[in-house]
């Protein structure tokens, strides 16, 4: 598989895994961070693992216009637009950046940022 295919597969796993902290444990770097657009939205891995189950699953999601920014041989940013839906809630739309680092031969999520872009 190509780097794009590998990273999209990992990213889809994160979208599909709310409620399953083991996926985050396996695929997020120990020093990884997640950034959301709300107060207190800078979250380290232990906090992410604690928040995964209560978040609940997405009913659907779409990754549009994915692009890669090669930062180094072992560091790549995956950038895309996302639309996701939870049952009974309005669509969530955001521009997403996920920076992956290759450690011990495997890609891990090092930094993930979501920037909401307004209603659909």
pLDDT of amino acid 50? 85
Query: Is 77 or 55 the better-scoring residue by pLDDT?
Result: 77
pTM: 0.91
According to the model, what pLDDT value does residue 77 have? 98
Quick one: which of 6, 1, 4 has its CA closest to 107?
A: 6
Residue 98 in this model has a pLDDT that exceeds 70: yes
Residue 1 · residue 10 · CB < 8 Å? no
Q: Is it the case that residue 26 has pLDDT exceeding 70? A: yes
Q: What pLDDT was estimated at residue 39? A: 67
Q: Domain range holding 8?
A: 3-116
Task: Output the pLDDT for position 104.
Answer: 93
Q: What are residue 99's phi and psi, to 5 degrees?
A: -100, 125
Question: What percent of the chain has pLDDT above 70?
Answer: 96
Residue of 92, 119, 108 whose CA lies nearest to 23: 108
Domain containing 97 — which CATH number? 3.10.450.50
pLDDT tens, residue by residue, 3-17: 999 999 999 999 988
Q: How far is CA 12 from CA 61, 73, 98, in A?
A: 9, 22, 12
- Tens-place pLDDT, residues 27-41: 999 999 999 887 678
- Provide the domain count of the chain: 1
């Amino acid at each position: 598989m190509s780097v794009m295919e590998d990273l999209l597969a990992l990213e889809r796993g994160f979208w599909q895994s709310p409620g399953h902290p083991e996926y985050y444990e396996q695929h997020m770097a120990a020093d990884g961070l997640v950034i959301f657009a709300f107060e207190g939205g800078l979250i380290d891995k232990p906090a992410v693992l604690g928040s995964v189950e209560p978040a609940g699953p997405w009913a659907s999601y779409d990754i549009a216009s994915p692009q890669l920014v090669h930062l180094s041989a072992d560091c790549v940013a995956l950038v895309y637009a996302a639309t996701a839906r939870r049952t009974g809630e309005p669509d969530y739309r955001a521009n997403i950046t996920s920076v992956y680092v290759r450690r011990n031969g495997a890609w891990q999520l090092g930094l993930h940022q979501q920037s909401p872009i307004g209603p659909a």
